[in-house]
Amino acid sequence: MLITVLGVAAIVGLLYLLCYGGFEGPVDWVMGTSSHGDRDHQIVALTFDDGPDPVRTPALLAALDQLGVKATFFVVGAAVDAHPDVTRQIVAGGHELGNHTYTHRYLPMARSKAVLRELAATDRAIERATGTVPTIARPPYGGRSPRTVQAFARAAKRLVLWDVNSFDWRGKSVPQVVERVLERTRPGSIILMHEARDGGEATIEAVRLLVPRLRARGLAFATIGDL
Ligand SMILES: [Zn+2]
């Protein structure tokens, strides 16, 4: 009996570690990661991961500028090194940068040293490109174990997740992405999107449709730092 219980607990624990991404769990309750802002304020944050991309990111920046929205970009260090000019454009547009590791690796199984290396290499890339170092970071796939969270804290990074996953990366159509985000967004929500991927044009189109509809609900947009 005891062995069965321990076995089930071990499997659940392993699944928790392996499948982790996006939803809050014990790691977050204990370690205070952020997956949303204050529910009493009518403010939400759009966040864009995995860029910058030399074509799609500037297109998104132009759209955000037209819409008058400031957003947050969790950039990958290797892409920052490849496109420092685009990284500068993000900052010049008044948006916030976050650290999304250098190689976009899944971190829960990584040693603390490796996590710190990923964060430091990305900080250096962002600093070379923009002269600034971000204070926020997001683990790829939302993957985190207690060790990951501790390493982020040691690197003085606030670990920021999301409570609304647009699933834009799953190849959903623009209306599907829009409906999914509208259904799930509440005051304080952090919305996860990806403009830099193949097909990221759909994400940009979804943003154009989402912003006026969320504003019609009385919601305003802010960066993570301002949320
Ligand atoms: Zn990512």
Does residue 20 have a pLDDT over 70? no
How far is ligand 1, taken at its centre, from the CA of residue 205, in Å? 20
pLDDT, tens only, 107-142: 998 999 999 999 999 999 999 999 999 999 999 999
How far is ligand 1, taken at its centre, from the CA of residue 177, in Å? 17
pLDDT, tens only, 42-68: 999 999 999 999 999 999 999 999 999
Residue tagged active-site, from 49, 50, 53, 163: 49
Q: Tell me, yes or no, if 49 is annotated catalytic.
A: yes
* In the chain, domain spans: 2-221
Q: Structure tokens of 37?
A: 């802002």
Handedness of CA 181, 171, 33, 223 (dihedral sign): negative
How far is ligand 1, taken at its centre, from the CA of residue 40, in Å? 28
What H or E segment, with its residue span, contains residue 173?
none
In this structure, the strands spanning 158-159 and 136-137 are parallel
Residue tagged active-site, from 41, 123, 194, 198: 194
Amino acid (one-letter) located at 195: E
Q: pLDDT category, 17, cuts 50, 70, 90? A: low
Look at residue 114 in the predicted model and tell me its pLDDT: 98
Q: Tell me, yes or no, if 194 is annotated catalytic.
A: yes
How far is ligand 1, taken at its centre, from the CA of residue 100, in Å? 7
Domain 2-221 fold is TIM Barrel (3.20.20)
Angle in degrees, 0-180, between the axes of helices 200-216 and 56-67, rounded to the nearest 10: 10
How far is ligand 1, taken at its centre, from the CA of residue 226, in Å? 22
